[in-house]
Amino acid sequence: MYCFRCGTKVDDKIEYCPHCGANVKEELARYSYPRNQQEEQKPKINQTHEDQYIYSLKYSYGDKEEFIRAYVRNNYDKIKNSKFSLSTFFFGPIYFFYRKLYKIGIIWLVISIILGWAFPILALIIRIILSINFSNTYLKEVEKRVKTIRTQNKNLDKETLLNRCKIKGGTNILIVIIYIVFWIIVIISFITYFTQNIYQELTQSTLENEENFSIGNISYTIPEGFSQNGISTYKYYGIYTDTGYCNISFSLDSNTNYYTTEEEYLTSITTHTDESYIISPMDDIRLNNRPWKHITIASSYDINDNYVMRTPDYIYEIETRYSPEETKCKEYYNQILNSITYKE
């Protein structure tokens, strides 16, 4: 006898077709039709090859590539013949998500995050390898998924199976939308940040009188003549003198878990200096009865004084800079430092 689904000749006692996996008895029952009593008395005649051919056109699985093409939808020929996937190279894991290769995409995304900063060359090599092998990787995965669809839907005809593959396959456009929205937000954030900084620099004003300012829980007074700019976590003030330029900055660092002491924070500053700098030992000072750690970093052309105080919420840093021959700056700095108050 012949399989009523694909037309393959099979043994009369076999239960499943070795070619398409169809249940031979179920297919035979589907093909059967009600007969009246007279027809039942007639001799049974085997179905002709023409009948089987017509039936197989409707129910046969046919060429598996046709179902793979239906699953992939657009660009099947381009992907199949591609030696290097530019989309994979430029968009990385996002393109895998777009093509519904979620598991591989997640694994690649995790690897990219881990290796991206520490081993950028290795991350690039992985990207190139995946770009070269994308066609083979993708089509093999599609073939598995198509086989699963066909196995789970044996009773469906060919057209219905093709439509089922189209529905299950294709691309995930939502990933592209999320990706575009993400980068729009990032670009807008950067534009906003730099615009604010540029605006602050362009609109920095010179104090006509001494004024009070604050950052976190610290308040202080800046003398007249200083220019000011900065953001909520960083304040900068400067003034020209007859012999140079004086500047002082106040900053907040919320990374108290990383820097558990003032000494650790000051040590991180000194690690960026070279042998040309002279670094003083850390000492303790009090600014308005609050303990601060202090260090001086000096070179032949400027002197930096750094003051650090750690609280449960923030690490406060004050930095002053002046040239060795400058004397007026010291007067300004003493005036500002003596004006500091801390409110719990």
Element (H, E) at 88: helix 86-91
Instruction: Give the three-class secondary structure for 49.
Output: helix
**Mean pLDDT over the full length of the chain:** 84
Residues whose CB falls within 8 Å of the CB of residue 234, separated by 6 or more in sequence, listed in order: 249, 250, 251, 252
Give the pLDDT of residue 40.
46
DSSP, res 47 = P
Neighbours of 98 (CB within 10 A): 18
Give the pLDDT of residue 251.
94
Question: How far is residue 114's CA from residue 36's CA, in Å, rounded to a whole number?
Answer: 73
pLDDT in tens, 227-271: 988 778 889 999 988 878 899 999 999 988 889 999 999 999 888
Give the pLDDT of residue 57.
45
In this prediction, residue 200 has a pLDDT band, given cuts at 50, 70 and 90, of low
Which stretch of 63-67, 195-199, 302-306 has the lowest confidence by average pLDDT?
Answer: 195-199
Overall pTM > 0.85: no
The answer to whether the CB of 128 falls within 8 A of the CB of 170 is no
Cα-atom radius of gyration of the chain, to the nearest Å?
Answer: 38
Domain with CATH 3.40.1000.10 in the chain: 206-342
Question: Pick the residue with more confidence: 53 or 76?
Answer: 76
What are the two backbone dihedrals, phi and then psi, of residue 29, each rounded to the nearest 5 degrees? -65, -40
Give yes or no for residue 132 having a pLDDT over 90.
Answer: yes
Domain 206-342: give its CATH superfamily: Mog1/PsbP, alpha/beta/alpha sandwich (3.40.1000.10)
For residue 162, give the nearest of 148, 151, 150 by alpha carbon: 150
The answer to whether the CB of 263 falls within 8 A of the CB of 283 is no
In this prediction, residue 26 has a pLDDT band, given cuts at 50, 70 and 90, of confident
